[in-house]
Structure 1
Amino acid sequence: MGALVQLWIRVEVGNTLGADSLGHFQAAWTISMQYIGFVLAAMGADYYPRLTGLINDPKAATRLVNEQTEIALLLSAPVFIAMIGLAPWVIELLYSSAFKPAVEVLRWQILSDVLKVASWPLGFVILAAGAGKTFFWTESIMLLLLGGLIASLSPSTGLKITGIAFLVCYLVYLPLVYLLAKRSIGFEWTGSVVKLLAIIFTVCVAVAVVSTLYWWGAVVAVVLTLVFCFYTLVRLAHMSNVGGLVGRIAAMARQIRIKIGLKHE
């Protein structure tokens, strides 16, 4: 289904917007799929077998899904922020300045990737519970919605719909798989995961707006990327009880969070 919808989208973009727009779309699509696919594939090899072993223990499975969601968001956040802020340079480095129209598409797709990362661990709950047909139809609905939006709106909206459509689809898909996971194992996000997702998405939107309007948006993106890199290091060190200097920094950061009322659940 995925391959067919991708082909449908390419044909629609090429026929409606022309070969140049198809190339711009393909450039943004390739970058978005490759960097986020690397993160998810690396974790999926370990996560799915563990989830399958715990699926009959709803509390343990819920804890694992929350942990995996937080880890995925932590590892992805610096990349999201950097890619959004530095999108013009990334496109020019990997392709050329002629691909400038792909920048806007890429930024929209990265915003959707934030939601994609949050939904990714939830999709595995459906598979681990043995609901393969439900998973198939859920994915199919999302893909058909994506193709339908692009096919129907590209004549009036132009190339940017190929990015906006991704965001719209994941705004639909994320609540859907969340409800299915809740029905399957009584799943609920912890408060810390909700806060982290909200913060990352808000920061990414802000960076996208600022970097689109002002040249110094790239500087803001770099600073925020470094901040999130540090926070990711500290948080992961705390979660894994790492010792040494990193562990001490994590312990200090935890005490600060407690004092200001941001203690993780």
Structure 2
Amino acid sequence: MKRTLRSTGLIGGATVISLLVGLGRMKVIALLTGPAGVGLFGLLNVLWSTGSALAGLNLGVSGVRQISEHDTDTEARSLAESAVWYFALVAAVVGGVGLWGFERFYTDGAGASPTVPWIALAVAVAVINAAQLVFLQVYSRIGDIARIRIYGSVLGAIAGVIAVAATGTPGLYMAVLAMPLASLLVTVPYFRRVPRMPWRRFDKAVLGEWRALLMLGIGVSVAAWIGNFGQLWVRWIITERGNLQAAGFFQAAYTLTNVNLSIVLAAMSVEYFPKLSSSADNSSGLTDILNEQYRLALILSAPILISAVAAAPWIMPLLYSKDFSNAVPLFQWQVAADSLKILSWALGYILIVTRSVLGFIAAELAFDVFLVGVPWIFFATMGLNSIAVGYAAGLISSVAVSVILSMRRGVRLSWENWAVTLVVCASAVGICLVSIESHIAGLMVGMLVATVFGVRGLKAIGAADAAIGERLRRIIGKFKGAVRL
């Protein structure tokens, strides 16, 4: 537990810093180039991120799974590590060359087609760097990964801003390349310290490893494409049957909903996934890791979820404007359902490490069927509330599919974790109902409940780790002393 908390804190903190650096970079670019420049930069980022995902086929997932599986077999691990590198090199070349031909066509509409294939180079660099990060994650170099996120984001932002300031619009292309290139350069010295197996020559055995990489990578990619398609379809429904203003409300609510848990879940996955992969063939070990990690995720996330629901009427106008008040109920109900999103996240990794590719796709499809289907049928009568119902129903459906498939592989969530999940869900729903009647009452009740969850969570963490428990007791003792004074 102590190691997991440390990892979560390091990666979570690094993620927050990199997000703030990204916001600062965007602010400077907006001042230098105006709305048109921001629009072009966003378009180029979509091209880069999509191209990287297509070229690498989620190498960050399949590579970690493939190498971690051979935790004790030196020969098999050497083969897996070599296969990951061969795959990354080929994917970088093929992806970069393939995107080079598409890049000019894609950017011609913006009236600023470059003479240098900056985005194609960015894709190739991103794929190579993904391979480096696979090894750091496999060997649990959590601190190094956190440093890379911070240093890479700062260096990339500085280089990008300088390029835009010096050259104007052409610098936007360089700014996109600066992000993965800075990360690659920062990662190299840390990667060189990682112990690696002897290099294997390219042969039929490597091709066999590629098959496993491709099967898992394609499966995860298909699930991601289904999710992206579902998001596009929902936005089309809202725009077609409502208006652009309603689509803006949905975008605001959905963005905040994703950010709400992304830091905790992204931080925990860095350690959670390799641990699961090393016990892929041991259902008892997977069950223990699942229950420990999910319990910690719920402990850390419950106060955040409850606080977000309670403070939503003030969060939305603060981060957007008072014109977005109609998005508050949608945001509240989606956050209330997000305790199930944590469970879906935890079980999703179980399906990945057990190579249940079709099951992983089925869980994503189950979510999107309801996310799209409910507003498709009821948007005319329910409006944005149909999105909230579809979101909650989709999560319930996705969790049900994941639970059934996990149980078939001998992996089960403990009854204690089920009980805590239901309590968190019920509390969030109750605060939503109170907030509908009175925002102030909802805030007061919500903060009280969030405090209770936070205190009980700290006690649970302290009970699980004696050193952490002693530190918490000292902090509480100092706090009590300050209150007496």
Q: How many residues align?
A: 249
Given that 2:359 and 2:402 are in contact with CA atoms closer than 8 Å, whether structure 1 keeps it comes out as no
TM-score, normalised relative to structure 1 = 0.89
Greater shift after overlay, 149-158 or 94-103? Answer: 149-158
Within a 5 Å distance, the mapping from 1:1-265 to structure 2 comes to 1-184=226-409, 186-214=410-438, 215-241=440-466, 242-246=468-472
Q: What is the rounded CA distance, in whole Å, between the counterparts of 2:263 and 2:296 in structure 1?
A: 14
Q: CA RMSD in A?
A: 1.7
Q: Name the SS for the 1:188 alignment partner.
A: coil
Q: What is the rounded CA distance, in whole Å, between the counterparts of 1:55 and 1:74 in structure 2?
A: 25
Q: What is the rounded CA distance, in whole Å, between the counterparts of 1:212 and 1:50 in structure 2?
A: 42
Deviation at 1:51, TM superposition (A): 0.4
Greater shift after overlay, 53-62 or 131-140? Answer: 131-140
Q: Name the SS for the 1:197 alignment partner.
A: helix
Q: What is the rounded CA distance, in whole Å, between the counterparts of 1:141 and 1:197 in structure 2?
A: 20
Q: Name the SS for the 2:234 alignment partner.
A: helix
Q: Name the SS for the 2:337 alignment partner.
A: helix
Q: Name the SS for the 1:209 alignment partner.
A: helix
Q: What is the rounded CA distance, in whole Å, between the counterparts of 1:9 and 1:194 in structure 2?
A: 30
Deviation at 1:82, TM superposition (A): 0.6
Given that 2:250 and 2:330 are in contact with CA atoms closer than 8 Å, whether structure 1 keeps it comes out as yes
Q: What is the rounded CA distance, in whole Å, between the counterparts of 1:234 and 1:243 in structure 2?
A: 7
Q: What is the rounded CA distance, in whole Å, between the counterparts of 2:250 and 2:241 in structure 1?
A: 13
Deviation at 1:243, TM superposition (A): 4.6
Given that 2:461 and 2:469 are in contact with CA atoms closer than 8 Å, whether structure 1 keeps it comes out as no
Q: What is the rounded CA distance, in whole Å, between the counterparts of 2:233 and 2:340 in structure 1?
A: 23
Amino acid paired to 2:435: S
Identical pairs, percent: 28
Q: What is the rounded CA distance, in whole Å, between the counterparts of 1:10 and 1:21 in structure 2?
A: 9
Deviation at 1:239, TM superposition (A): 2.0
Q: What is the rounded CA distance, in whole Å, between the counterparts of 1:226 and 1:135 in structure 2?
A: 35
Greater shift after overlay, 67-76 or 137-146? Answer: 137-146
Q: What is the rounded CA distance, in whole Å, between the counterparts of 1:231 and 1:249 in structure 2?
A: 15
Instruction: Give ranges in structure 1 of 5+ residues lacking alignment.
Output: 251-265
Deviation at 1:244, TM superposition (A): 2.2
Given that 1:85 and 1:211 are in contact with CA atoms closer than 8 Å, whether structure 2 keeps it comes out as yes
Instruction: Give ranges in structure 2 of 5+ residues lacking alignment.
Output: 1-225, 477-485
Larger radius of gyration: 2
Given that 1:105 and 1:164 are in contact with CA atoms closer than 8 Å, whether structure 2 keeps it comes out as no
Deviation at 1:116, TM superposition (A): 0.8
Given that 2:374 and 2:389 are in contact with CA atoms closer than 8 Å, whether structure 1 keeps it comes out as no
Greater shift after overlay, 44-53 or 230-239? Answer: 230-239
Amino acid paired to 1:211: S
Question: RCO greater where, 1 or 2, for CA within 8 Å and sep 6 or more?
Answer: 1
Deviations 1:176-208 (A, max 9, x none): 111111101x12222321221121111111111
